[in-house]
Amino acid sequence: MSKALSSIREYYLALLRRWGPQNWWPAQSRFEVIAGAYLTQNTAWINVEKAMMNLRQARALSVSRIRKIPITELEQLVRPSGYFRQKAQRLKTFIAYLDEKYGGSLDRMFSQETQKLRAELLALNGVGPETADSILLYAGNHPVFVVDAYTRRILERHRIIGKKIGYEEIRNLIESAISSTEPELLKVLEQGAEPRHPVSRMSRMQRSHLAQHYNEFHALIVRTGNEFCRSIPRCEGCPLRPFLPRHFVLTGGQQPRRRPNRK
Ligand code: SF4
């Protein structure tokens, strides 16, 4: 295993040992995850929660209701998540695709082979790799890793990747690193865990060990990003601090910087 792969694996194990399984995604149905994956584009999760609350109160969190609801009403319900006209239209587009290709059945859609379904989702208006992979992993339990801005930031700051590396390369790197992780590890670490979210129906769904590891690693990276690896990093106390390259100087509130060369 290359140094980059073994480092990524060590990061995962360190985060898992510190916090344990995270119970992501906090949703009661597959469609709720799909709606959340669209609504979270370009906004903070707290705004998504407000839009989801609106949808829940209007009993609109289902394929059949989104199909029937007038677009102007849907726009108002998702308004707190920003870009509300665009997001309402994208949800409608997803339902049109589901109806046309799979007769409105999420079961039929998710029973497709992973790469085929991924290509179909990526062809939909407004679905980039992060949204497609969130839907595949967290709604469909397909084993794909979700790369987000925190993943990129953490791996860049630790000099695992360069600035120009693309989404697919990062995804392949992490999937290669995690594919050999012990299947029973999660069960062992559930004792004494510090989950970030309460257990939900979707977080407890049956899935392969690999999908569960991708699920947890992404959630752990999001937590690291939220709590420590912000635009100004808080490296002291971060579970990944021991792995930060030694040639970086860290002082409170500063970016990790290369130590000046000594003459
Ligand atoms: S906060 Fe510091 S130690 Fe933690 S992941 Fe970011 S750069 Fe690494």
Question: What local confidence, expressed as pLDDT, does residue 206 receive?
Answer: 85
Residue 199: pLDDT band (50, 70, 90) is confident
Ligand 1 contact, 235 CB (< 6 A): yes
Name the token pair of 71.
Answer: 């677009």
| Dist. CA 40 → ligand 1 center (Å) | 24
What is the DSSP-derived secondary structure letter of residue 65? H
Selected residue with higher pLDDT from 23 and 136 = 136
Residue 262: pLDDT band (50, 70, 90) is very low
Nearest CA to ligand 1 atom 2: 235
Ligand 1 contact, 217 CB (< 6 A): no
Average pLDDT of the residues in 120-143: 97
| Dist. CA 24 → ligand 1 center (Å) | 22
Question: For tokens 């149905």, what's the residue?
Answer: 29
Q: Where are the beta strands (DSSP E) in the chain?
A: 248-249, 257-258
Question: What local confidence, expressed as pLDDT, does residue 258 receive?
Answer: 53
Q: Is the pTM of this model over 0.75?
A: yes
Residues contacting residue 168 through CB under 8 Å, at least 6 positions apart? 129
Ligand 1 contact, 157 CB (< 6 A): yes
Is-contact 54 155, C-beta < 8 A? no
| Dist. CA 3 → ligand 1 center (Å) | 18
Nearest CA to ligand 1 atom 3: 241
Say whether pLDDT at 261 is over 90: no
| Dist. CA 153 → ligand 1 center (Å) | 9
Structural domains in the chain, sorted by start: 1-263 (1.10.340.30)
**Which of 10, 221, 223, 228 is the pocket-test mutation for ligand 1 (most atoms within 8 Å of CB)?**
228
| Dist. CA 176 → ligand 1 center (Å) | 22
